[in-house]
Amino acid sequence: MLLAIDVGNTNTVVGVFDGPRLVDHWRLATDARRTADEYGLWVRQALPYAGIDPTGVRALVVSSVVPPMQFSLEKMASRYFGVRPLFVGPGVKTGMPILYDNPREVGADRIVNAVAAFEKHHQGLVVVDFGTATTFDAVTPKGEYLGGCIAPGIAISMEALFQNAARLPRVEFARPPAVVGRNTVHSMQSGLVFGYAGLVDGICERMARELAFPVKVLATGGLAPLLATESRSISEVDELLTLEGLRIIHGRNHGLE
């Protein structure tokens, strides 16, 4: 079995694959201060809870945008699973040409998402990932990573409102009853939900006009289902796209395709 780990700035998603099948997955807060033992013990306890024998894990693949985590995850993989992890980055075979000015600048998660999306659809794409940042990534019909757009994430914006406006509370990210809020909570939720839906549609429509090919817009990330219901651009949601991309890239680097 393959253990796939996607380390984001806010959350870390862990999944276990048995061949192409995702057996189970978990989401936990990213904390660069966690030790290898903390991660190792947590994973070893989580697997049996899902009916998975930890001794069946024979490989580990990681995408990370938090460099300090690499040492802990390498040590965790060695001590608790006896494997050397594959970190997605320069030198790793992805099967996708990167047309960015400097390919090393592209976050591993963005490439992993693009690989999974193209493997699934084989057409021009825009992949929207609702993470700490909201990212938009364009993939050509030939399967090339073209570039994209980075905007502040929803959680960042929510926290900024709370921290910098003395009379505004923290609110749940949820759809309000109407665009015109009749109280402070609903007014904030309206700005966040409908404001981000407008941001998504505006950027996707501009990207579609700029690109010389038709695109399908996919969304991923924990908040994708809610935003997709309010967006006219998003046509499909795949919350676990990054884990699937990690599985594909691992296979391409170990002859398992």
Answer whether 81's CB lies under 8 Å from 4's CB.
no
Tokens representing 139 are 């993939």
The span from the CA of 93 to the CA of 158, in Å, is: 37
The closest of 122, 140, 130, 123 to 203, measured between CA atoms, is 130
The span from the CA of 60 to the CA of 125, in Å, is: 28
Q: What is the DSSP letter of 98?
A: B
What is the β-pairing status of strands 2-7 and 216-220?
unpaired
Q: Which helix (H) or strand (E) holds 209?
A: helix 184-210
Tokens 């999944």, located at residue: 15
The active-site residue out of 24, 53, 101, 109 is 109
Q: What is the DSSP letter of 219?
A: E
Tokens 């993470």, located at residue: 131
109 part of the active site: yes
The span from the CA of 158 to the CA of 191, in Å, is: 10
The span from the CA of 229 to the CA of 222, in Å, is: 14
Catalytic residues: 109
